[in-house]
Amino acid sequence: MSITTVESTEASSAAPKAPVPRTIAPLAFWSIVVAGVVAGVYYLVQVVEHRQVLLHLIDLSVYQIAGDRVSHHVSVYDTPLLGNTRGVWEFVYTPFSAMLFVPLRWIHGDLYTFVGGFGNFVMLVVSCLVALSMLGYRRDRRLAIAAVAIAGLLLWCEPIRMTMAFGQVNIFLLLIVIADMALPDTSRWKGVLTGVAAGIKLTPAFFVLYLLVTRRYRAAGMAVGGFAATLVIGFAVLPKDSLTFWSGAFIDPERVGIPDNLSNESLRGMIARLVGVGGAHQLIWLAGAGLMAAVCLYLARRLSQTGRELAAVVCVGVTMTAVSPFSWVHHWVFLAPLLICLGDLALRRGGLVAPLGFLATALVVSSGVLAFFDPTLVSVFDFANNNHPTTLYRNAYIWLTVALLAATAIALRRSTTREPSPDVADAQV
């Protein structure tokens, strides 16, 4: 054998091998398909019978009004979009987002309902497909079918269900952020969609910090550039509204909502309900949010370094919602890919811990088993007034976030104390 041949053989053996795409086992695949069809059909039946509860699209109607105002050169911030009560139905998104809503003004009747409901479901399916791809599954027809079935199951995830009902933008934001994070680091466009998402609603800007701590500086720069582009467009088309929004309207509590609102499912909301909105509330929240964000970014970096990209993105997305000043239940859409992560882990790992973790999380984010029998319930969290422990019960998503970060830290610690194996390297926490 020649020296050239030997060197070539050694180089090829030393080169890292691309991971072999995984496939869903037949039993798991058909179980997911059957469960997804049953869940999706039952949800559709409930929508038909209780349309005003499960698909009223009232927020989509508010977006439509915003788009109509933009097209008629009327400010979206000077007065509420519905009614005349300040703090109720105020437009809280950016001027750039108001411009994106302009096409809604031409959609009416059954087409409006179809676009609002089916459009969100299609984006949910694509989000599931992207998440499964990030887990290493082979992109084929079986995966597409599984994504549709999983989306059917996720209709019973409370944030997804409420986003569908209100016609909110949250699933769209989830899609473009997770699609952006799924791009290879070599892509020159990575980060742009995250910047655009932040230009629609500010909270996705948290992902810029994730890109920075994982040393994806070009992607972080592209995200900042994408966000800056939305600002420039907003000021060019809506200069007065842009000045109003960026000069303080975006942090005005009378627009966003008071911190101790019972529907504020964020860390700030929990603290405000515990200690009140006066005194040290602000400092406690900032300290707690800073600590939670720092822990999240550290763990997300570790997850990303070990190839568990979806797990890292989920940690960032869930924590982003927890530390936000105000988070409605329907803002917690990153709980959907969390369920996909945990479900994948439960299928691949033996024992009881992973399946029980998945089932416990599914129970919490479904708003309880009662929702499966009576989906017209807005939220099981509302039962907290009936002698339930409100600190634990009403802030369930905050405690779920804490549990997620703790479980991730434990899993990462254990993975560093034993010999690495393919299973550990692939694991999604």
Residue 16 lies in a domain: no
Residue 134 lies in a domain: yes
* pLDDT (mean) for 261-277: 87
Percentage of residues of the chain with pLDDT beyond 90: 65
Compute CA 77 distance to the chain's CA centroid, rounded to the nearest angstrom. 26
pLDDT confidence of residue 2: 45
Tell me if 9 is assigned to some domain.
no
Domain-located, residue 14:
no
Note the pTM of the prediction, 2 decimals: 0.89
- Whether 13 is covered by a domain: the verdict is no
Q: What mean pLDDT do residues 312-316 have?
A: 98
Residues 195 and 210: their CA atoms lie apart, in Å, by: 13
Instruction: Output the CA torsion sign for 200, 204, 208, 214.
Output: negative
User: Over the chain, what is the mean pLDDT?
Assistant: 86
If pLDDT is split at 50, 70 and 90, which confidence band does 399 have? very high
373 pLDDT higher than 70: no
Containing domain of residue 345, as a range? 25-82+90-426
- Residue 337's pLDDT is 98
Overall average pLDDT of the 13-24 stretch: 63
Instruction: Average the pLDDT over 247-269 and give the result.
Output: 82
Per-residue tokens: 66: 């915003």
* 9 pLDDT more than 80: no
Whether 366 is in a domain gets the answer yes
Q: Tell me, what's the pLDDT at 151?
A: 97
Residue range 337-345: mean pLDDT, rounded:
96
3-state DSSP of 65-123:
HHHHHHHCCCCCCCCCCCCCCCCCCCCCCCHHHHHHCHHHHHCCHHHHHHHHHHHHHHH
Number of domains in the chain: 1
Evaluate whether residue 61 is within a structural domain: yes
Least confident stretch, 18-22, 163-167, 215-219, 350-354: 18-22
Does any domain span residue 18? no
Q: Is the dihedral angle over the CA atoms 142, 47, 374, 383 positive or is it negative?
A: positive
* Alpha helix ranges (H) inside 276-387: 281-305, 309-323, 335-348, 353-365, 370-373
